[in-house]
């Protein structure tokens, strides 16, 4: 196993690499598209806004390298938080198209008038409605994960396996379609539940 | 969901206990990492706060290194603060593993900086620390510079002011209750003329599990923080969480056994084949 963590130069990826170290997974952090070639698994983290991150992916060949890893080689790819959003077609937050590996558009979360649901959605929340797929194995009922985001994916096509979370309305908390995976929450900030999700991802083999 | 937060107080290479904002060293950085099972303690927490409370000259570089080390030990969100006097220092803390910044005196000394930090990183990233004193049943008086300087504003005004200048959460810390173990100042939020629109954290006075449970049972309180390194050791916070859940208050839960199961799950076998 050789995990490549893509460094977009925005946000902090130290917790993610600490989680990989805890799990005993050999990994590299890289901004070099060539470094993805030998990777068994790629993780695309992301904190910040959609367009600046897409610009970084488009400016170099990193976007192409991720595409190659996921579609030509069909090796496991995990997008985390903004990294998950970047795998899709686009977001209300930005004007630039996403990587387009998955179908779907992210929309801004809506706050409940006078309610307790605020935007951004920050904190531990329950995740439910897990489809029966390798990424979601071994969780207790309604496990808790740490979220911090303002945009979310309302639904996925039927052939995509997903788990849901509620924030005024249901949204996609995580998904798996074959080798493509994403988590809207931060597994690296979600105690043992998050470590389990990362471990499940690492167990996916090409 | 309600949150339990643990606060590490750091002062020039030492971790501290605090009583009425007077500090006492309990152990160095090595002590914390070698003899105090910090990772285990973190399994019962929703969040960690690490604050540089150095009364002398601060060394933000050294502190950032320690923050970085701590962030590798626990898989929960982390708030870092103490000495956020410039955009660069805030940015350095965030790059060292912090998810949020605790900003206190800067809301008084440099509110433009607070607005800049909130504008750049988002207000969910900014926790306003409000330290206050109270004599008897008199008014609560906010203070800055490690609680040493009262500011010429009443608490109600100050709560509005920090929200206008970018606070995404407010940490209310009672200087009088601090380190006493006598319980939290539970009515500080209720006594405000207007409930803050952002989550409220109470700190100062937690001595036992019951104080955390009572705090989180209070509707105006989103989170309770404690900085006492000895009141909750080992799995004590996990026990507190179970008790809180039993009272019907919503609190996050995790499978603690998974930590041991997942550790080094993907390591190559270390034993060498026998000859």
Over residues B135-157, the pLDDT tens digits come to 889 999 999 999 899 999 999 99
Q: With a CB-CB cutoff of 8 Å, which residues 141-200 of chain A face chain B?
A: 143-144, 146, 148, 186, 188-196, 199
- In a mutational test of the A interface, the residue from B266, B269, B270 whose CB has the highest number of chain A CBs within 10 Å is B266
Average pLDDT over every residue of A41-54: 90
Model's pTM, two decimal places?
0.92
Pick from B72, B94, B122: which is nearest to A18 by CB? B72
Query: A127 touching B, CB under 8 A?
Result: no
Residues of B marked as catalytic: 131
Lowest mean pLDDT among A187-196, B8-17, B23-32, B248-257: B23-32
Pick from B97, B256, B267: which is nearest to A14 by CB? B97
Burial A11-42, CB ≥16 within 10 A → b, else e: bbbbbbbbbbebbbbebbbbeebebbeebbbb
Average pLDDT over every residue of B58-72: 92
Backbone phi, psi, residue A103, to 5°: -90, 135
Binary contact (B255, A192; C-beta < 8 A): yes
* Residue A165 a catalytic site member: no
pLDDT, mean over chain A: 93
Binary contact (B3, A124; C-beta < 8 A): yes
Interface pTM, i.e. ipTM? 0.91
Q: Is the pLDDT reported for residue B258 higher than 80?
A: yes
Nearest-angstrom CA–CA distance, B124 and B77? 12
Beta bridge partners of A29: A5
CA distances (Å), origin A196, targets A19, B34, B240, B262, B267: 10, 26, 24, 7, 15
Q: Is the pLDDT reported for residue B275 higher than 50?
A: no
Beta bridge partners of A122: A148
User: Beta-carbon neighbour count of residue B236 at 10 Å?
Assistant: 15
| Full set of structural domains in chain A with CATH | 3-203 (3.40.50.880)
Binary contact (B75, A196; C-beta < 8 A): no
Cα distance from N-terminal residue to C-terminal residue, chain A: 11
Binary contact (A14, B72; C-beta < 8 A): yes
Reduced to 3 states, what is the DSSP secondary structure of residue B186? coil
* Cα dihedral B151, B48, A182, A122 sign: negative
Residues of B with Cβ-Cβ distance to A19 under 8 angstroms: 75
Beta bridge partners of A42: A4, A77
Q: Report the CATH number of the B3-260 domain.
A: 3.20.20.70
Query: A9 touching B, CB under 8 A?
Result: no
Alpha helices in chain A (DSSP H): 14-23, 50-59, 62-67, 82-86, 191-203
**Which tens digits make up the pLDDT trace of A1-22?**
999 999 987 667 888 999 999 9
């Amino acid at each position: 196993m050789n995990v490549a963590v893509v460094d977009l130069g925005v946000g902090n990826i130290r917790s993610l690499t600490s989680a990989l170290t805890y799990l005993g997974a050999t990994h590299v952090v890289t901004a070099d598209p060539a470094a993805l070639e030998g990777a068994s698994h790629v993780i695309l983290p992301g904190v910040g806004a959609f367009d600046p991150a897409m610009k970084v992916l488009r400016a170099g060949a990193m976007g192409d390298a991720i595409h190659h890893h996921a579609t030509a080689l069909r090796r496991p790819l995990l997008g985390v938080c903004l990294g998950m959003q970047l795998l899709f077609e686009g977001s209300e937050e930005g004007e630039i198209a996403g990587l387009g590996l998955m179908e779907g558009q992210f929309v801004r979360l809506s706050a409940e008038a006078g309610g307790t649901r605020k935007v951004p959605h920050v904190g531990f929340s329950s995740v439910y409605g897990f489809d029966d797929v390798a990424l979601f194995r071994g969780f207790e009922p309604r496990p808790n994960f740490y979220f911090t985001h303002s945009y979310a994916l309302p639904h996925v096509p039927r052939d995509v396996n997903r788990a849901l979370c509620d924030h005024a309305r249901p949204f996609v908390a995580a998904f798996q379609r074959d080798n493509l995976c994403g988590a809207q929450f931060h597994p690296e900030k979600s105690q043992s539940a998050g470590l389990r999700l990362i471990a499940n991802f690492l167990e996916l083999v090409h | 969901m309600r949150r339990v937060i643990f606060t590490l107080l750091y002062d020039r290479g030492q971790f501290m206990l605090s009583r009425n904002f007077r500090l006492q060293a309990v152990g160095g950085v090595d002590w914390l990492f070698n003899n105090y099972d910090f990772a285990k303690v973190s399994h019962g927490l929703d969040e960690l706060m690490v604050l540089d409370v150095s009364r002398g000259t601060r060394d933000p570089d050294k502190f950032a290194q320690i923050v970085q080390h701590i962030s590798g030990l626990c898989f929960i969100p982390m708030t870092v603060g103490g000495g956020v006097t410039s955009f660069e220092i805030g940015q350095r803390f965030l790059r060292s593993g912090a998810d949020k910044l605790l900003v206190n005196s800067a809301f008084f000394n440099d509110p433009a900086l607070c607005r800049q930090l909130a504008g750049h990183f988002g207000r969910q990233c900014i926790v306003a620390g409000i330290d206050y004193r109270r004599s008897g049943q008199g008014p609560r008086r906010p203070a800055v510079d490690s609680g040493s300087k009262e500011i010429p504003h009443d608490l109600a005004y100050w709560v509005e002011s920090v929200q206008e200048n970018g606070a995404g959460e407010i940490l209310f810390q009672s200087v009088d209750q601090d380190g006493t173990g006598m319980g939290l100042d539970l009515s500080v939020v209720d006594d405000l003329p207007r409930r803050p629109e952002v989550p409220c954290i109470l700190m100062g006075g937690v001595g036992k599990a019951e104080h955390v449970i009572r705090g989180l049972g209070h509707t105006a309180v989103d989170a309770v923080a404690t900085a006492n390194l000895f009141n909750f050791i080992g799995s004590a916070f996990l026990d507190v969480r179970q008790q809180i859940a039993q009272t019907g208050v919503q609190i996050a839960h995790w499978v603690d056994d998974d930590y041991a199961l997942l550790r080094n799950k993907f390591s190559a076998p270390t034993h060498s084949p026998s000859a």
